[in-house]
Amino acid sequence: MTAAPASGPVALFLDMMAAERGAAANTLDAYRRDLDDFAARLGGRGADLVSASTPDLEAALAGMSRDGLSAATAARRLSAAKRFYRFLLAEALREDDPAAALKGPKKQRPLPKILSEAEVDALFGAADGLDGPAGVRARALLEILYAAGLRVSELVSLPLAAFARAERCIHVTGKGGRERLAPLTESALSAVADYRAVREAHLPKASTRRARAERFLFPSASAAAGHLTREQFARILRDLALKAGLDPARVSPHVLRHAFATHLLANGADLRSVQMLLGHADVSTTQIYTHVLEERLKTLVETAHPLARR
């Protein structure tokens, strides 16, 4: 069904957006639909879009929430209304802006994507199936990433000196130059020891590049920075995911960092400790992982509880 063309102040507003702001046809259609929705909701309470008061607009926004509109959709519609009322004020079609003080609904932060413990085990199994120095390096990379929850940039650029202070920990310099000690598991320490025995195979042959690469735990013969790049590690993970029978789109260094945090909390770690291990400046950043656990438990009850299946 084709919507009726806009008229009156709405038409003037859309003309202005087209002429002065260069808005495309699809953008103009979106503005019209958003304003039409506001107009319909306001009409239901005997109000008019042009003369609506702030309480009228608040009631319309509340109606959107009751109707199940997403926070993103409601926020977009409020943004259109704010532009419209600023236009009316500028054109002297209103003496006030009823939308000026309104705040849109907060958008929910998407939950981190993670892998199950079984899926992480499958990745390790795939690394164990690789032959030669490449396989030993892949295992060491996975072990450190999952044991310490490093960011990919922290992992690939680890200097050899990261192990200098305590062999059971690595010294990590994270965002904002913040430093932390990340303890390693016995399995990770063993994997690093095995990797050091074959690390020479990944060093450049040319002396000019070798001096730079020798500083890093994971040197690269081809990368200008001297160490393994994020892109190179992403390719390693992609190949391991395929070998493990996992969808490569679900596997990334950051997904493994999320898995590290979520699995720690699921197995009894406290939030403050996980915050320190991840190198988060604020514990509120770490709290997102508690929501992941809540969602998993909710799904478990909904799918596995006998009463849920009736």
Q: Which position among 165, 175, 215, 235 bears the catalytic label?
A: 175
Which residues neighbour 26 within 8 Å (Cβ) at sequence distance 6 or greater? none
Nearest of 179, 163, 210 to residue 276 by alpha carbon? 179
Instruction: Give me the amino acid identity at 69.
Output: L
Tell me whether residue 254 is one of the annotated catalytic residues: yes
C-alpha atoms less than 13 angstroms from C-alpha of 137 in its C-beta half-sphere: 21
| Per-position DSSP letters for 37-91, written without gaps between them | HHHHHHHTTT--TTT--HHHHHHHHHHHHHTT--HHHHHHHHHHHHHHHHHHHHT
Tell me whether residue 94 is one of the annotated catalytic residues: no
Q: Which position among 32, 77, 139, 151 bears the catalytic label?
A: 151
The residues facing 170 across adjacent strands are 182
Tell me whether residue 289 is one of the annotated catalytic residues: yes
Distance CA 67, CA 105 (A): 14
Q: Which position among 227, 257, 258, 263 bears the catalytic label?
A: 257
Tell me whether residue 257 is one of the annotated catalytic residues: yes
CA distances, 259 to each of 136, 182, 274 (Å)? 22, 16, 12
Tell me whether residue 103 is one of the annotated catalytic residues: no
Q: Which position among 254, 272, 291, 305 bears the catalytic label?
A: 254
Distance CA 211, CA 252 (A): 30
Catalytic amino acids? 151, 175, 254, 257, 280, 289
